[in-house]
A and B are shown apart, each in its own frame.
Chain A
């Protein structure tokens, strides 16, 4: 068995051009070399496996190359070869994570003074530099600010936020980006062709996706796939290797959930487990499946944020059609909760089982708009039947009974005075809506006035006339009957309805007994406004979030005093 060099090492980029996906870095560095404006300290930051160490080594080669400093190191001369093999005496690659102490830095400072033995520059590459201790960093400050002219520092780290600001300000910083999937794909394709390995495009794509923008991850996976699948790597091999379930099973499971087949769901989980899939991985895939369903539900199949094959989009659209957005969203959140738990529990299968049972048993929610419109309808029927709708149930019989009881409740002498309160009953829905809007408008204009008006109820509202009823003897009636008040109401009404409106105030006759109902009557006026407010409140994202957090429901919406 010869010593086999893994792909990531064998194919480590040797010139700037090979450094995939980091053009913003390579171009700057190359130009700096060409114009002889090279800084003396660099910091390469970025996620794992995107080319920081490789860039550092290429830079070292470029400045120390026999023909250099040159934009493209020759990789032929002694210096380049030594650096590539890691045994150049003038390029010191230091593992910052193992040599963390101030003593290591002191030693480094001692050596910095001496001229390079045979190259142009003495280059210190400190990898994982974020692990240096604070005192080590501080010991480095002076040297880093004004190093001897023959010294170049290159730091590489995945965690730039852990590096002191004083160090950062002394370095030229380069942020390496995650590498786009297509770029990784191209690079891997190059490698497989050179290695003489056959691998299908879709299989290779799976690997590239899994790597999440890290070239080394992708190369490790490719290595693994090749050692598993041999000279010809099939899609199934990669799926097996990654522990990714076939996507069909995602659709099967979501289908079973939508059809509320608990047994079917559990059998699918059993199957997954028996086939040896990684359930945590499956759960993550399932989450993104639901994310796709949500996207399809919101934006349709053409959405640019979907990056899945076309035949799957069709299936997604079909599945999403049968489910409401609200349900999908709630299912997504249940799944999210399960996924979080799975990472920690020793029994991932049980968690997945319970999650799918809960999902399959989810009682359908009505869309919010439908609930609201139903409430409105209900309220409209209630208010049409008048303030004394104690029973609250519908049916003419009931109503008749109501009238009788009202008759009984009202002492005879008062009953004769004026028509009883429920005039609002004759007011149409449209008028009520306008009244509601008017109240909201008044609230904005004159809150004090509004607080009186909401105690009244609408008697009549047409083009030129607004009649408001108040309970007899109430303070609100006295107040609103005042000339000044009446004027301001008229004034506001004119502005609201954009025409002259005559405002009339009526006293509605109510007995002691009926005063109770007057409260209801006032309530009726209130509900006009409250209904409006409720709609506003329920639609408010903060309220929705609160309801979500407390798993609660809205019982009552109260109008704040004086508002």
Chain B
């Protein structure tokens, strides 16, 4: 696996490629972008390319360094992952102790901090001095979902490289080896350009939850409350449902306004969308869409799941 095998992310790869070519390697990088789009993969390839014997700016994949890195056994590739909920200050202290020595064999010792947004406040602060002036021949790569989770003092010490969600085509290209075409067509639109998310989702679940969404469109309040109860009982269904509902409302709004099928995400629900969209007012749809996010926030703040779902379901399908 090398840079050229990574799907999408032309821009970050271009930037990193030039960094390696010119040798102007910054000592700290921060990769940001949504989960499951390949940030970590790019970071690993960066480590490989920096240390590859061939020095072509790409990983050759068969030299000793590349192979050790691929297996995760390279002594100068240090991985830091959250232990439990967060990355703790002890981990950073241990890192600082270990990098006080020179690298064993690598040209560039690479420290990869995955899920950097989970650094505790203490750990992030403890990392600051290292981030600013690490020992020679050391590169830190922080990988995080968004810059918002990191203190500005950390951000200011890193070169930020932003990763965008993949396009539908790119996501499909990644998924094609691992999922059937049918699964891809159902899951890819929901994943919002993240193959990782698509892989985590369960096709069966998605189909069932979508079925529930359709049955919740019935005017009977009883039916809707029933759906809410069912969703609340299955682990993870509630959140999934709200995401699907968001996509559904988005499609309704888009179709209502443009009448163009090409813009829709849920191609499998085309018939229903065509049926429902004309019966609704745009104001009501938009109101539903925004209130959905309030409900999602409520659930994230540990609100009662079933009540929140009932609230969402009673709200939808109004005028």
Residue of A nearest to B8 (CB): A276
Query: In the complex, what's the smallest C-beta–C-beta distance from A93 to chain B, in angstroms?
Result: 8
Q: Which residues of A contact B14 (CB under 8 A)?
A: 228
- Residues facing A in B116-175 (CB within 8 A) are 122, 125-129, 132-133, 136-137, 146, 148, 152-153, 155-159, 162, 164-165, 167
Query: With an 8 A cutoff between CB atoms, is B198 at the interface?
Result: no
Given contacts A97-B128, A98-B93, A350-B246, contact A49 B11 (CB under 8 A): no
CB–CB A227/B22 < 8 A? yes
CB–CB A347/B192 < 8 A? yes
CB–CB B153/A357 < 8 A? no
Number of interface residues of B (CB under 8 A): 64
CB–CB A1/B126 < 8 A? no
Query: With an 8 A cutoff between CB atoms, is B258 at the interface?
Result: yes
Query: With an 8 A cutoff between CB atoms, is A214 at the interface?
Result: yes
Query: With an 8 A cutoff between CB atoms, is A339 at the interface?
Result: no
Query: In the complex, what's the smallest C-beta–C-beta distance from A135 to chain B, in angstroms?
Result: 15
Given contacts A1-B107, A216-B157, A357-B257, contact A98 B164 (CB under 8 A): no
Please tell me the size bucket of the interface on A: 35 or more
Query: With an 8 A cutoff between CB atoms, is A343 at the interface?
Result: yes
Q: Which residues of A contact B185 (CB under 8 A)?
A: none
CB–CB A4/B24 < 8 A? yes
CB–CB B148/A343 < 8 A? yes
Query: With an 8 A cutoff between CB atoms, is A136 at the interface?
Result: no
Q: Which residues of B contact A276 (CB under 8 A)?
A: 10-11, 164
Interface segment out of the listed A218-226, A414-422, A478-486, A496-504: A218-226
CB–CB A1/B25 < 8 A? yes
Query: With an 8 A cutoff between CB atoms, is B64 at the interface?
Result: no
Q: Which residues of B contact A49 (CB under 8 A)?
A: 156
Given contacts A127-B129, A216-B156, A216-B157, contact A243 B162 (CB under 8 A): yes
CB–CB B253/A48 < 8 A? no
CB–CB B126/A98 < 8 A? yes
CB–CB B129/A95 < 8 A? yes
Query: With an 8 A cutoff between CB atoms, is A241 at the interface?
Result: yes
Q: Which residues of A contact B146 (CB under 8 A)?
A: 343
Total number of residue pairs linking A and B with CB closer than 8 Å: 140
Residue of B nearest to A97 (CB): B125
CB–CB A354/B19 < 8 A? no
Q: Which residues of A contact B34 (CB under 8 A)?
A: 346
Query: In the complex, what's the smallest C-beta–C-beta distance from B230 to chain A, in angstroms?
Result: 24
| Interchain CB contact (< 8 A) of B286 among A2, A53, A130, A358 | A358
Query: In the complex, what's the smallest C-beta–C-beta distance from B84 to chain A, in angstroms?
Result: 20
Query: With an 8 A cutoff between CB atoms, is A217 at the interface?
Result: yes
Given contacts A243-B162, A263-B257, contact A98 B129 (CB under 8 A): yes
CB–CB A228/B27 < 8 A? no
Residue of B nearest to A224 (CB): B159
Query: With an 8 A cutoff between CB atoms, is A262 at the interface?
Result: yes
* Alpha-carbon separation in the docked complex, A48 to B18 (Å): 28
Query: With an 8 A cutoff between CB atoms, is B263 at the interface?
Result: yes
Query: With an 8 A cutoff between CB atoms, is A76 at the interface?
Result: no
Query: With an 8 A cutoff between CB atoms, is A353 at the interface?
Result: yes
Q: Which residues of B contact A283 (CB under 8 A)?
A: none
Query: In the complex, what's the smallest C-beta–C-beta distance from B140 to chain A, in angstroms?
Result: 12
Residue of B nearest to A281 (CB): B162
CB–CB B250/A353 < 8 A? yes
CB–CB A220/B293 < 8 A? no
Query: In the complex, what's the smallest C-beta–C-beta distance from A102 to chain B, in angstroms?
Result: 15
CB–CB B24/A98 < 8 A? no
Q: Which residues of B contact A220 (CB under 8 A)?
A: 26, 156-159
- Residues facing B in A103-162 (CB within 8 A) are 127-128, 130-131, 158
* Alpha-carbon separation in the docked complex, A53 to B258 (Å): 56
CB–CB B137/A3 < 8 A? yes
Query: With an 8 A cutoff between CB atoms, is A100 at the interface?
Result: yes
Q: Which residues of A contact B11 (CB under 8 A)?
A: 240, 276
- Residues facing A in B1-53 (CB within 8 A) are 10-11, 14-15, 18-19, 22-27, 34-35
Query: With an 8 A cutoff between CB atoms, is A345 at the interface?
Result: yes
Q: Which residues of B contact A230 (CB under 8 A)?
A: 18, 22
Q: Which residues of A contact B152 (CB under 8 A)?
A: 47-48, 158
CB–CB B257/A350 < 8 A? no
| Interchain CB contact (< 8 A) of B247 among A214, A240, A350, A357 | A350
Known A1-B23, A227-B18; further 9 A-B contacts with Cβ < 8 A: A4-B25, A48-B155, A86-B133, A97-B129, A220-B26, A266-B254, A350-B246, A357-B254, A357-B257
List 12 interface pairs A-B (beta carbons < 8 Å), by A numbering.
A4-B24, A9-B132, A48-B153, A95-B126, A127-B128, A131-B122, A223-B24, A227-B19, A228-B15, A276-B11, A343-B148, A344-B297
Closest 10 CB pairs of A and B: A97-B125, A227-B24, A95-B129, A48-B156, A262-B257, A98-B126, A97-B126, A48-B153, A131-B125, A347-B192
Query: Which residues of A does B touch, CB under 8 Å?
Result: 1-4, 6, 9, 47-49, 53, 86, 95, 97-98, 100, 127-128, 130-131, 158, 214, 216-217, 220, 223-224, 226-228, 230, 240-241, 243, 262-263, 266, 270, 273-274, 276, 278, 337, 341, 343-347, 349-350, 353-354, 357-358, 361
